[in-house]
Structure formats: C-alpha cells, structure tokens
Amino acid sequence: MSLDRRTFLKRTGAAGALILGSRLPAPGPAVAQDMTVRPDPAAKRGGTLRYGVHTAPTHFDVHQSGTVANIGAQSPMYDTLLRRSPKDGQTIIPDLAQRWEISPDGKKYTFYLRKGVKFHDGADFTADDVKATYERIVRPPKGVVIPRTPLFATVGDIVVVDPHRIEFRLTEARPKAYMLGAFASGWNIVVRKKTLDENQGNLRQVMNYPGTGPFKHVSRKDKEVWIQERNPDYWNKGLPLVDRLEIYHMPPFSQELGSAFLSGKLDYARLLDPVSWRKGKEMPGVTAAAFNQSVIQAFWTNMQKNKALADPRVRRAIHLAMDRHTLVEVVKDTAPMQVGGFVYPFHEMSTPRADLEKKLGYQKDIKPAVQEARRLMKEAGYGNGLRNLDFVVREANTFKLWAVAIQAMLKEHLNIESNLRVVQISQWFEEASGGNFDLAISAIVSTLMDPSDLFSAWYGKDGPQNYSRWTNAPFHDLANQMDRELDDNKRRALVRKGEDILEQDPPLIPVAYEQIYDAWYNKVKGQNPSTYFGIYDVVRWDNVWLG
C-alpha cells in the first residue's frame, strides 16, 4: 500500500486527535468535593466593602424570588448545600454539605452535613432544616411560588437519616450536572425549619430571618442600603474577611450606579451601564470585567392569535431577517449584549460561536439570510408581507431601541408592518401570558445554564415562558430524552439536534444574550467574575478582602 507524505500526516493527525479526544474529560460539572473556600494567604482582615447592586427587593423571600435584587443583597447572610467556587464561578464545591454521594443508578443523593454550624439566632443547623427548606422548594405551600421547583421535579422523598445526613430520593435519575447544579444554585439557601413553621412557609414579608451565612443583618433602609456585619461564629473559620458590608440598592445600567462608582462612593459595582464601565476601565486603580449572564433577549410570535405566525416558514423568515450584529450594536451604550441562538452561546453543549456565525441568521453579511427569508415568505404565501402586527414592547431602554430596529428590519426585509405598543413590565407579562400580542419583546431567565432547564421552561409544550404557544412533537420527544440521558456526550448530540429543530421552527426569535459589566477598585481583592456564569450563584463575599 502506498502512502504519500500528506496522507500519512493527515491520518496520524486524525489518530492523534482521536486518542487525545478520548482522554479529554467529558463535559459535565466540574466538581471538587475536597475543596472548601479558604482565605487567600495574603488576605488581610477588616474594613467595609461598599457594594452597589440592583434596586431593592420587592420582598424578602429568596426562594420565591427570581431577581438579583434579592440574591444580591441577601445572599451573604445564607449558605447553600453545595456552591460554585468563587475562584471560577463554575466548579461545584461543598458548602453546608461537606461531602455527598450519588448512588450508581443516579436515583439517590446523600449529603453529609457539617457539624457545629449555627444559625445567626444561635440555633444549631441540622438535617431537619435542610429537609424543611427543600420540602418547601420541591412542594411549595399554597400561595408560594418558587421558580426553582421544576428543577426538583423528580425528587420524591427527602429523608433525614440522622441530624447530619440527608437523602434525596429521585423517582427517576437525572444527569448529575443538572442535579448538582440545582443543589448548588445560589437561590436554594438553607433556612431554619422553625422560621418556615412560624411563617406558614411564606417569608415574603420577613425581613431578617436567620441564616448560617458569613454575614449577619445589621440594618436596612428600604431602597437605599442594607448593612451587614461579619458573622464571628461562621463555620468556615477565618472567613469572612471584611468586617462590614454596605449593599447599596441602585438601578442596573443606571447613571446613578455609574456615578456612585466613578465618584468613589462604591468599592464594587455590579450591572454597570456600558458608558460608566468603559470610563471605569480607563481609570487607574480600577478593574473592569465582563461575564455571561443567564438571560436571553428575544421576541415571541403568537402562533395562536395569528395564522401567518403559526407557519414555521414565516417564523424562520422573521428569524433570518434579523441582523443580530446590528442589534447588538444598537444597544451597545445601553447594555452589553452578544449574538446567540436558541441555547446559551457560551454553553459547552451548544453550537460553538464560530460555527454559529457561519449559519444563516447569524452572519455579519445578512444578504444570503434575507434572500432565503424572502423565499420562505413567498413559499408560505406571504410574499407581499404582513400588515398591522401588534408588537408589544416591554418598557426598558434596550427593548425600545430594539423594537424600532426590528420593526425597520421586518419592513425592509420582509414587508412586515407592525405597530409598537410600549407597556410596563407588569403589563407585558399579563399581555404575553394572556396571548394579547402578535409580536412581543422582552427578556427571560433560566434557572440553570443546563439546556434541560431552558428546553422545558422556554420551549416546553406547557413551558411557563413559551409565550408563542409553540409545539413541535419531535422537539418535545427529544427534550424528554435529553432530560433522562445520563451520558454527557449523548446529551450534547441531543442538544445540537434540538438546536437544528429550533432553527427551522423557531418558538421565539433570539435577539441577543445579556452580559454583565462589573467594576471595582483594586483594593477589593479575592473576586474576579470574568469566568462566572450569571450573577445568581456566587454572591457571598466571604473570601473577598480589602487590600
């Protein structure tokens, strides 16, 4: 057999890649059971950290919340069973559970809880508190709505084995990445059983309920500042490092937050507007970071109200008619965004960005996509476009800017005419869930980055955020299969398959994916969120110190 040099190199290269590939870790959660947050050896103790984050919470029940207004201010007072390491924001490490075991069939999660942990009111922390916390999350009492409940849909019994050991028995196995991610979610803080019992399971109006976290409540001025002090009895000895936290409530992306940071009235600002962030980046002694957030900005097409929008070809045409790079540019001074498709573009299982940008609808040159879009409209019988679409726009600068741009793109590329109707957020969700729109633009969040979560919440047949009322039998079957598939490589293939279906039959039209801009003065040490995913899991400030 003859073998030329080029063929030889190709084949050895391929074989090498195969060997190397087989040795690469499978995608999944980075887990380190032996790792607990430890103070930086160079860390100094003391001082006050002034932190600006979001407007004030509308209530105090972290479990019932879905906004950083709660978790940003309250998280330092609580712990979770597991947590994401503040070093990278990704690796799952022990927290109140110092270790855990998963049965071989994946249907039993056993957590071994730390001993000697005390709540801020002096009570001992035991497995009963974990059981009460999770019973409430898994099966909320009447009038209590917890967005994370679906993550634990397969949790059957929660059994206290002894005061420091608890078992979660699943009715059906779920991927480890998914379950551990759910237990490590920053939202699932552990609260006292007694607190829940005394308040009939509803903590919306209970401002200062005891946690086990590194900081304790001192005082709160509504819509101004929440002050917390170091918990001297914190189980993780040596932490936290700062004596006092002052958490200022300021609207995200606002001039108010930006000016407070730039004038030195805050040490650390989260959710800065792009202009202040860029200004901060240029300032000496300031570090600025951008990181990914679990929010998709999109618009929905009402398939039940509008016959034309029920046609997948029309929705794909609308999807292809979007010049996404321009849409990101349109809001660049208002909020940081990035181009993405139907799954988080930075998720390891989604189509890599380079490949995505080769697809129609994501290219910088939109001519081929628009050509295809026009062909699809013609084929669907709407070659002359559509008239009088009711386009409901959520009141926010980004959506108002986008709505005008999208309206123009639809008109120019597909001869679709729409009338903009700007409404407050409370009305937007009323209109969206009531089906009173043709097009509706807003943003939605997923609880986990794991595609199983968003495939069910955003695209599921009865998904709570499936505002288009979209159904697609092959996709729903696939999503079901993905929920149960324990092999990460097989799951990845299913995700890609799902993406292909969504591209052809879009349940929503992705506009962009949000990013977060943080900045801090260099005296704040111990935290760099550049690799974090979202702002909900690593918000405790226990390892942060002031230089």
Q: What residue ranges bind another protein (CB under 8 A)?
A: 55-60, 64-67, 142-147, 149-150, 204-205, 207, 221-225, 248, 250, 255-256, 259-260, 262-266, 423-427, 429-431, 433, 444-445, 447, 457, 464-465
Quote the least distance from Cβ 431 to another protein, whole Å.
Answer: 8
**Would residue 492 be called left, alpha or beta, if left means φ above 0 and alpha means ψ between -120 and 50 degrees?**
alpha
**Residue number, 365 or 462, with CB nearest to another protein:** 462
**Residue number, 250 or 416, with CB nearest to another protein:** 250
Tokens linked to 306:
């509008």
**Residue number, 248 or 541, with CB nearest to another protein:** 248
Contact 202, 61 (CB under 8 A): yes
Quote the least distance from Cβ 527 to another protein, whole Å.
Answer: 22
Q: Which of 466, 527, 519 is nearest to 279 (CA)?
A: 519
Quote the least distance from Cβ 430 to another protein, whole Å.
Answer: 5
Q: What are phi and psi of 440, to 5 degrees?
A: -150, 125
Quote the least distance from Cβ 134 to another protein, whole Å.
Answer: 17
Contact 444, 428 (CB under 8 A): no
**Residue number, 330 or 457, with CB nearest to another protein:** 457
**Residue number, 62 or 166, with CB nearest to another protein:** 62
Cα–Cα distance, 486 to 505 (Å, whole number): 27
Quote the least distance from Cβ 249 to another protein, whole Å.
Answer: 9
**Residue number, 294 or 543, with CB nearest to another protein:** 294
Tokens linked to 229:
């002090």
**Residue number, 203 or 386, with CB nearest to another protein:** 203
**Residue number, 36 or 471, with CB nearest to another protein:** 471
Q: What are phi and psi of 102, to 5 degrees?
A: -120, 130
DSSP tag of 204:
T
Quote the least distance from Cβ 248 to another protein, whole Å.
Answer: 6
Quote the least distance from Cβ 48 to another protein, whole Å.
Answer: 14
**Residue number, 340 or 463, with CB nearest to another protein:** 463
Going along 143-202, which residue ranges are E strands?
A: 155-162, 165-170
Quote the least distance from Cβ 149 to another protein, whole Å.
Answer: 7
Quote the least distance from Cβ 223 to another protein, whole Å.
Answer: 6
Contact 248, 55 (CB under 8 A): no
Partnered with residue 110 across adjacent β-strands are 101, 167
| Residue position matching structure tokens 């979202």 | 534
**Residue number, 43 or 443, with CB nearest to another protein:** 443
Cβ-in-10-Å burial (0-12, 13-18, 19+) of 88 comes to middle
Cα–Cα distance, 68 to 200 (Å, whole number): 25
Crossing angle of the two packed helices 397-414 and 312-320, in degrees rounded to 10: 110
In three-state form (DSSP H/G/I as H, E/B as E, the rest C), the secondary structure along 477-508 is: HHHHHHHHCCCHHHHHHHHHHHHHHHHHCCCE
Instruction: Kindly give, in sequence order, each residue whose CB lies less than 8 Å from that of residue 135, ignoring residues fewer than 6 positions away.
Output: 158
Helix (H) / strand (E) element for 291: namely strand 286-301
Helix (H) / strand (E) element for 178: namely helix 176-183
Quote the least distance from Cβ 426 to another protein, whole Å.
Answer: 4
DSSP tag of 529:
G
